[in-house]
């Protein structure tokens, strides 16, 4: 690995879009000699940066532990029973402050200081502009970073306009650090100048937790991988026809009837935990309750509670007549209780994940034959359009009367129909990369999120 880091091309991912000059010489350092300093006038930004630094330090410690070298490092950080470091602030040493009686100290054996090239490793972060701790489409994620080594001191200087830019700088710095297997020590490239700004302000990954349930810990591992690649939007496709794992405080029947089991669910506390975990890593969580199609299991309890049919064609056969894939299920566009439930779900999710300037309503693969069994509309696409407009209106109510700046839907037969405004809706294109709809939507002026099935889907054996 040392040869790869010092002899090959720049090992930054994604590669910086601006100037990038990285030396080939490395410095050996101790984790306990790393110091962190933040300069910003925004206290929430400072606090979140300290959280991000805690993550940075924990991940480096995990590298040491994975190589069986944790104790040899002489890192005498204080560690609570939960495994989290107890941090000071400003320029205090890591572990200089202890809180509560639960804390305990590990004493490691002395290590020969001559093994190390530095006595102090300073990371100095200056956030000069934005007070934001919630990502938006306008967030400036740029950063400039320099690394220099003088005498026995290593200094990293970071200048960013937001927490998110500074977080990306920490990720880049982490990519300049590695564990030398022969010397059994951490090393860092000790000279660098990097100017970087993301080429796209939406860099996402979608995870479907309905067709296949993922534990909270599995989701966190995904978020860690996203953070290391500087991806910034976690699109959480929470529900679909297969299952409804979200436990709603207003309508717990959805999970009661729709989850695979009482263990394969997501509570409000789970979601808060995931959102906090993501935010510390510079990632926004974008929830999606797919509607009106992709809504089967979990929606079949309406008649038992005097709410009528909330969804139609649930598990109907032959499935190929009534949905794109089994099991079938499509929300009832003429039952006001259906919209009320959606409104409350949006309200809960916005409270748990917000504030958000981007929200996903689903909206694709509506099977018109399903609805035609129940309604006599002359043009079923008009009914489809009415549903999406009503869902948008309910989202607006749930968001205290103001719609998120951009509301996303999947590409479908409706997005090429005169229904959705390009000023309010973005389209996530999931069809083939050469499909004509791509060019039509661009020509119509829509903002697009590109997730073509033949390039970006990872569910078909790729």
Q: Which residues are catalytic?
A: 365
Sign (positive/negative) of CA torsion 453, 457, 461, 462? positive
Q: Are strands 447-450 and 425-429 parallel, antiparallel or unpaired?
A: parallel
Own/partner contacts of 422-427, CB < 8 Å, gap of 24 or more, are 422/446, 422/447, 424/392, 426/358
Which of 342, 337, 313 has the alpha carbon at shortest distance from 325?
A: 313
Dist. CA 26–CA 415, nearest whole Å: 53
Dist. CA 444–CA 437, nearest whole Å: 10
Dist. CA 171–CA 123, nearest whole Å: 13
Order of strands, sheet of 425-429, starting from the edge strand that comes earlier in the sequence: 204-208, 233-239, 284-291, 358-362, 406-410, 425-429, 447-450
Which of 187, 191, 169 has the alpha carbon at shortest distance from 178?
A: 187
Q: Are 15 and 104 in contact, with CB atoms under 8 Å apart? A: no
- Taking CA atoms, 184 is separated from 44, 108, 114, 220, in Å, by 38, 16, 14, 29
Dist. CA 233–CA 241, nearest whole Å: 24
């Amino acid at each position: 690995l040392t040869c790869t880091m010092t002899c090959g091309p720049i090992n930054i991912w994604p590669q910086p879009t601006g100037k990038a000059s990285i030396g080939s010489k490395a410095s050996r350092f101790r984790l306990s000699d790393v110091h962190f300093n933040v300069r910003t006038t925004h206290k929430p930004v400072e606090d979140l940066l300290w959280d991000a630094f805690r993550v940075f330090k924990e991940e480096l410690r995990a590298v040491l532990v994975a190589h069986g070298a944790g104790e040899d490092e002489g890192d005498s950080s204080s560690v609570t029973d939960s495994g989290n470091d107890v941090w000071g602030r400003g320029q205090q040493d890591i572990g200089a402050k202890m809180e509560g009686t639960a804390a305990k100290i590990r004493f490691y054996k002395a290590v020969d200081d001559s093994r190390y090239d530095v006595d102090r490793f300073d990371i100095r972060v200056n956030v000069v502009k934005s007070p934001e701790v919630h990502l938006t489409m306008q967030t400036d994620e740029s950063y400039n970073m320099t690394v220099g080594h003088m005498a026995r001191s290593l200094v990293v200087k970071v200048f960013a306009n937001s927490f998110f830019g500074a977080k990306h700088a920490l990720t880049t710095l982490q990519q300049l650090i590695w564990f030398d297997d022969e010397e059994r020590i951490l090393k860092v490239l000790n000279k660098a100048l990097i100017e970087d700004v993301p080429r796209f302000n939406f860099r996402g990954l979608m995870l479907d937790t309905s067709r296949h349930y993922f534990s909270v810990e599995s989701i966190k591992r995904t978020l860690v991988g996203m953070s290391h690649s500087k991806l910034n939007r976690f699109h959480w496709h929470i529900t679909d026809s297969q299952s409804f794992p979200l436990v709603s405080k207003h309508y717990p029947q959805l999970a009661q009837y729709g989850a695979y089991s009482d263990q394969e669910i997501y509570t409000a506390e789970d979601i808060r935990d995931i959102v906090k975990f993501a935010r510390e890593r510079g990632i926004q969580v974008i929830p999606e309750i797919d509607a009106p199609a992709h809504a089967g299991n979990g929606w079949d309890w309406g008649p038992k509670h005097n709410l009528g049919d909330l969804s139609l064609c649930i598990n109907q056969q032959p499935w190929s007549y009534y949905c794109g894939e089994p099991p079938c299920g499509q929300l009832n566009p003429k039952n006001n209780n259906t919209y009320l439930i959606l409104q409350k779900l949006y309200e809960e999710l916005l409270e748990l994940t917000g504030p958000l300037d981007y929200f996903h309503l689903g909206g694709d693969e509506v099977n018109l034959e399903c609805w035609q069994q129940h309604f006599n509309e002359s043009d079923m696409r008009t009914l489809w359009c009415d549903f999406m407009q009503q869902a948008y209106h309910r989202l607006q109510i749930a968001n205290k009367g103001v719609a998120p700046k951009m509301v996303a839907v999947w590409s479908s037969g409706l997005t090429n129909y005169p229904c959705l405004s390009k000023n309010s809706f973005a389209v996530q294109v999931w069809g083939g990369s050469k499909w004509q709809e791509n060019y039509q939507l661009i020509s119509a002026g829509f903002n697009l999120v590109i997730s073509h099935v033949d390039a970006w889907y990872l569910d078909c054996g790729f």
